[in-house]
Amino acid sequence: MAWAKNGTPDTLGSAGDVLTISDLTATKFNMFMTHILPTGTTDVHLEIDDDTTATYASRTNYNGGTDSTQVSQSTLEIDNNVTTPVFWINYMMNIATEEKLGIMFEIRQSTAGASNMPNRQEKAIKWTNTSVQFTKYEHTNDEAGDFDTSSNLSALGTD
């Protein structure tokens, strides 16, 4: 299995609220890498193929604490109250006749300095569409802050 760049990476040239790859090749296995540099407070969501129906669900563990779940959501909240740099890797399968499952790992800067450890999050995600392979992957922000210049979304894919 050889991984290759999938779609056109999105790197913001100025602050904004959306990171999108809209030209993905419909490959069965994908890896998305997101680096957000927030200005102010951001609330990051995932939307696939412009679908805003109640087709998203997830289970999250933050810093090894208690699990939380989201079900029947119109977008998938990835992280809220983000005020420091954050990096995600999301491995996601994309088989037309199956629910799209993914596992996402996050590391977020905490207080600066070597005596403060970063925050971490693991998230199992699901998009329940079983009729297509997705070709668009998007992060949006619905808080007052922005994704700052140089925030980036990139993807790799393989069959």
Domain with 37, as residue range(s), is: 26-151
Using a pLDDT cut of 90, give the percent of the chain over it: 84
pLDDT tens for 60-102 read: 999 888 899 999 999 999 988 899 999 999 999 999 999 999 9
Cα 78 versus chain centre, distance: 6
pLDDT given at position 1: 66
On whether residue 158 sits in a domain, the answer given is no
On whether residue 127 sits in a domain, the answer given is yes
Q: Is the pLDDT of residue 30 over 80?
A: yes
pLDDT tens for 124-139 read: 999 999 999 999 999 9
Distance CA 152, CA 18 (A): 10
On whether residue 117 sits in a domain, the answer given is yes
On whether residue 69 sits in a domain, the answer given is yes
Q: How many domains, in total, are found in the chain?
A: 1
Question: Rounded to two decimals, what is the model's pTM?
Answer: 0.93
On whether residue 17 sits in a domain, the answer given is no
Q: Which is nearest to 157 in space by CA: 58, 90, 103, 87?
A: 90
Q: Which of 8-22, 35-49, 115-129 has the lowest mean pLDDT?
A: 115-129
Mean pLDDT of the chain: 94
Query: Following DSSP, what letter does each residue of 25-45 receive, concatenated?
Result: ---SEEEEEEEE-EES-EEEE
